[in-house]
Amino acid sequence: MTENSASDLTLEEKASLTSGADFWTTKAIDRVGIPSVMMTDGPHGLRKQSGSTDHLGLAASVPATCFPPAVGLGSSFDPEIIERVGAAIGVEAAIEDVAVVLGPGINIKRSPLCGRNFEYFSEDPIVSGILGAASVRGIQSQGVGTSLKHFAANNQEFDRMRASSDVDPRPLREIYLRGFERVVKDAAPWTVMCSYNKLNGVWTSEDPWLLTSVLRDDWGFDGLVVSDWGAVNDRVAGVAAGLDLEMPASGGRTDAQLVAAVRAGTLEESVLDTAAARAIDLVRKAGERPAVDGPLDVDAHHALAREAAGRSIVLLKNDDALLPLAADQRIAVIGAFATEPRFQGAGSSLINPTRVDKALDELRAVGGENIAYAAGFAVEGGAVAASGRKAEELRAEAVGVAAAADVAVLFLGLPAVEESEGFDRDHIDLPAEQLAVLDAVLEVNPRVVVVLSNGGVVALPFADRVPAIIESWLLGQAGGSAVADVLYGAVNPSGKLTETVPVRLEDNPSFGNFPGEFGHVRYGEGLLVGYRWYDAKGLEVTFPFGHGLSYTTFEYGSAAAEVGAGGDITVRLDVTNSGDRDGREIVQVYVAPEKSLVQRAPRELKAFASVALAAGETRAVELVVRREDLAYWDVRVDRWVVESGSYTLDVAASSRDIRSSVTVGVEGDEVHQELTMNSSIGDLMSHPVAGPIVQQALGGLLGGGGDTAAASMMPNDEAMQKMMASFPIGRLAGFPGLPVTFEQIEQLVAAANADGHAVD
Cβ within 8 Å of residue 449, ≥6 positions away: 322, 323, 325, 407, 408, 409, 410, 466, 467, 468, 469, 470, 487
- Cis peptide leading into residue 43 (ω within 30°): yes
Beta strands in 110-160 (DSSP E): 145-151
Could you tell me the smallest distance in angstroms from the CB atom of residue 478 to ligand BGC?
A: 23
- Cis peptide leading into residue 295 (ω within 30°): yes
Residue 245 vs 623, nearer CB to ligand BGC: 245
Could you tell me the smallest distance in angstroms from the CB atom of residue 150 to ligand BGC?
A: 6
Residue type, 423: F
Could you tell me the smallest distance in angstroms from the CB atom of residue 348 to ligand BGC?
A: 3
Residue 42 vs 530, nearer CB to ligand BGC: 42
Residue 42 vs 115, nearer CB to ligand BGC: 42
Could you tell me the smallest distance in angstroms from the CB atom of residue 729 to ligand BGC?
A: 52
Residue 120 vs 373, nearer CB to ligand BGC: 120
CA distance 708 to 693: 19
359: three-class secondary structure by DSSP:
helix
Dihedral angle over CA of 717, 719, 721, 722, nearest 10:
170
Residue 54 vs 594, nearer CB to ligand BGC: 54
Compute the C-alpha angle 308/312/318, nearest 5°: 135
Q: What is the DSSP string of 380-408?
A: ETTEEE--HHHHHHHHHHHHHHHHTSSEE
Could you tell me the smallest distance in angstroms from the CB atom of residue 156 to ligand BGC?
A: 12
Long-range Cβ contacts of 719-726 (<8 Å, 24+ apart): 724/681, 724/698, 725/680, 725/681, 725/682, 725/685, 726/680, 726/681, 726/682
Active site positions, annotated:
228
Could you tell me the smallest distance in angstroms from the CB atom of residue 554 to ligand BGC?
A: 38
Residue 228 vs 246, nearer CB to ligand BGC: 228
CA distance 420 to 548: 26
Instruction: Give the H or E element holding residue 577.
Output: strand 569-577
Number of neighbours of residue 672 by Cβ within 10 angstroms:
12
| Residues at the interface with ligand BGC (CB under 6 A) | 41-42, 102, 149, 228-229, 348
Number of neighbours of residue 181 by Cβ within 10 angstroms:
20
CA distance 115 to 121: 13
Could you tell me the smallest distance in angstroms from the CB atom of residue 248 to ligand BGC?
A: 8
CA distance 505 to 113: 9
Nearest partner of 111 among 103, 120, 101, judged by Cα = 120
CA distance 625 to 588: 11
Residue 146 vs 494, nearer CB to ligand BGC: 146
Q: How far is CA 561 from CA 646, 656, 660, in A?
A: 12, 21, 11
Question: Could you tell me the end-to-end alpha-carbon distance of the chain, in angstroms, rounded to an integer?
Answer: 56
Residue 181 vs 228, nearer CB to ligand BGC: 228
How does strand 39-40 pair with strand 448-453? unpaired
CA distance 261 to 518: 32
Question: Minimal CB distance to ligand BGC: which residue?
Answer: 348
Residue 24 vs 377, nearer CB to ligand BGC: 24
Write the burial class of residue 204 (CB in 10 Å: 0-12 exposed, 13-18 middle, 19+ buried): buried
Could you tell me the smallest distance in angstroms from the CB atom of residue 102 to ligand BGC?
A: 4
Could you tell me the smallest distance in angstroms from the CB atom of residue 16 to ligand BGC?
A: 21
Nearest partner of 65 among 341, 229, 269, 304, judged by Cα = 304
Residue 41 vs 634, nearer CB to ligand BGC: 41
What backbone phi and psi angles, to 5 degrees, belong to 187? -130, -5
Cβ within 8 Å of residue 654, ≥6 positions away: 496, 497, 544, 545, 546, 547, 548, 588
SS3 of 225-243: EEECCCCCCCHHHHHHHCC
CA distance 77 to 391: 39
Residue 352 vs 472, nearer CB to ligand BGC: 352
Could you tell me the smallest distance in angstroms from the CB atom of residue 516 to ligand BGC?
A: 19
Could you tell me the smallest distance in angstroms from the CB atom of residue 164 to ligand BGC?
A: 17
Displacement of CA 308 from its chain's centroid (Å): 18
CA distance 650 to 589: 6
CA distance 127 to 108: 10
Whether the CB-CB separation of 48 and 61 falls below 8 Å is answered with: yes
Residue 102 vs 282, nearer CB to ligand BGC: 102
CA distance 15 to 576: 60
What backbone phi and psi angles, to 5 degrees, belong to 730? -65, -25
Residue 150 vs 182, nearer CB to ligand BGC: 150
SS3 of 409-434: EEEEECCHHHCECCECCCCCCCCHHH
Could you tell me the smallest distance in angstroms from the CB atom of residue 193 to ligand BGC?
A: 7
Could you tell me the smallest distance in angstroms from the CB atom of residue 498 to ligand BGC?
A: 20
Whether the CB-CB separation of 349 and 89 falls below 8 Å is answered with: no
CA distance 603 to 626: 15
Number of neighbours of residue 740 by Cβ within 10 angstroms:
17
